[in-house]
DNA sequence: ACCTCATATGTAGCAACGCAAAGTATTGTG
DNA sequence: CACAATACTTTGCGTTGCTACATATGAGGT
């Protein structure tokens, strides 16, 4: 597993978090775990990355939260808002576009791979 | 064509530039054009992005340059160094990993898409 | 001659974002 | 009782791409 520089994630994190919350409501810690398992271990994000991002998404109205107490532990359960669902849809399209473009540039080789 | 937020590119630009220069030597302006055509118009980067990035790559020893004068115009021709070629190889692997991980997370839907 | 566009390069300053590091608190385990 | 795991928070930093502006030459049009 090659080292993945942190800047790579920039701009893509929001889409990932929204996608995870589309599974169903989750609290921050669980979001991190879902992200790790869904990505096959490739995306193992620190709390200092995820929690502020969740706050940002809530301020933007894309997710909403409510405090719960489970087994004596306070946790903040997040869920998608309709606005968040809409944005997630756009973000998926943007990602597809971006990934296609980058892959195209990186795939083009000096000796034409495609005759 | 959806608007592509500039942060999306962060961390991926170096790989793109190296890949373009793998085609063969090019000056900055031509790099921008190649990038645009190779990406089908999706990646149309401003000079204020590309030139500093090329300087950075040169300082890092991944590319090298020599001044030429063609038709009375001064241009700086860049070409890959062996180190740059090696890094490009790694970057391609990193991109594949990253893209696979993000696609996996974004693709996972609440109700199975194929049902 | 004049203007404008395309070609070609450069830099200063800004804004955004992910992260490291540190801290708080509770529950479970050895 | 120490320690790990769970769970959340915040400050400050570094990197990076972009906006805006500046400079200069050649080509084409009027």
Name the strand (E) or helix (H) holding B27.
strand B26-27
pLDDT band at B7 (very low <50, low <70, confident <90, very high): confident
- Intra-chain end-to-end CA distance of chain A, in Å: 32
**What is the average pLDDT value for chain A, to the nearest integer?**
92
Q: Mean pLDDT, to the nearest integer, of B20-30?
A: 97
Name the residue ranges covered by the structural domains of chain B.
Answer: 6-107
Name the nucleotide with the smallest C1'–CA separation from B31: C8
Structure-token pair, residue B13: 């630009």
What distance in Å separates residue A30's CA from the closest CA in chain B? Answer: 14
A15-50 pLDDT, tens digit each: 999 999 999 999 999 999 999 999 999 999 999 999
Residue B79 CA to nucleotide C3 C1', Å? 37
Name the nucleotide with the smallest C1'–CA separation from B75: C8
B18 pLDDT above the threshold of 50: yes
Q: Quote the distance between the C-alpha of residue A59 and its chain's center.
A: 17
pLDDT band at B109 (very low <50, low <70, confident <90, very high): confident
What distance in Å separates residue B57's CA from the closest CA in chain A? Answer: 16
Indicate the fold that domain B6-107 takes in CATH.
Arc Repressor Mutant, subunit A (1.10.10)
Least confident of A79-88, B12-21, B106-115: B106-115
**pLDDT in the model for residue B36:** 95
Number of A to B CB contacts under 8 A, please give it: 121
**pLDDT in the model for residue B71:** 84
CB A63 within 8 A of CB A88: no
Q: Mean pLDDT, to the nearest integer, of A87-104?
A: 96
**pLDDT in the model for residue B97:** 95
**pLDDT in the model for residue B115:** 39
What distance in Å separates residue A90's CA from the closest CA in chain B? Answer: 8
CB-CB neighbors (< 8 A) of A12 in chain B: 8, 102
- Tell me if residue A112 falls in helix, strand or coil: coil
**pLDDT in the model for residue B114:** 46
Q: What is the rounded CA–CA span in Å between residue A59 and residue A81?
A: 12
Structure-token pair, residue B53: 């990035």
pLDDT band at B32 (very low <50, low <70, confident <90, very high): very high
A113 pLDDT above the threshold of 90: no
Question: Tokens 């608007």 map to which residue?
Answer: B3
CB-nearest partner of A2 from B9, B11, B93: B93
pLDDT band at A108 (very low <50, low <70, confident <90, very high): confident
B113 pLDDT above the threshold of 60: no
CB contact under 8 A, B42 and A15: no
Helix runs in A47-111, H state only: 47-59, 82-107
A96 pLDDT above the threshold of 70: yes
B15 pLDDT above the threshold of 80: yes
Q: What kind of architecture, by CATH, is found in domain A10-107?
A: Orthogonal Bundle (1.10)
Q: Mean pLDDT, to the nearest integer, of B14-41?
A: 96
SS (H, E, C) B49-97: HHHHHHHHHHHCCCEEEEEEEECCEEEEEEEECHHHHHHHHHHHHHHHH
Crossing angle (nearest 10°) for helices B82-107 and A13-22: 30
């Amino acid at each position: 597993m090659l080292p993945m520089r942190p800047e790579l994630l920039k701009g893509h994190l929001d889409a990932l978090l929204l996608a995870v919350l589309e599974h169903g409501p989750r609290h921050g810690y669980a979001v991190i775990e879902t992200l790790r398992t869904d990505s096959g271990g490739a995306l193992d994000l620190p709390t200092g990355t995820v929690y502020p991002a969740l706050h940002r998404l809530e301020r933007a109205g894309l997710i909403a939260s409510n405090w719960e107490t489970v087994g004596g532990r306070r946790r903040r359960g997040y869920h998608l808002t309709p606005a968040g669902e809409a944005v997630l849809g756009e973000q998926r399209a943007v990602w597809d576009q971006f990934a296609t473009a980058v892959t195209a540039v990186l795939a083009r080789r000096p000796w034409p791979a495609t005759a």
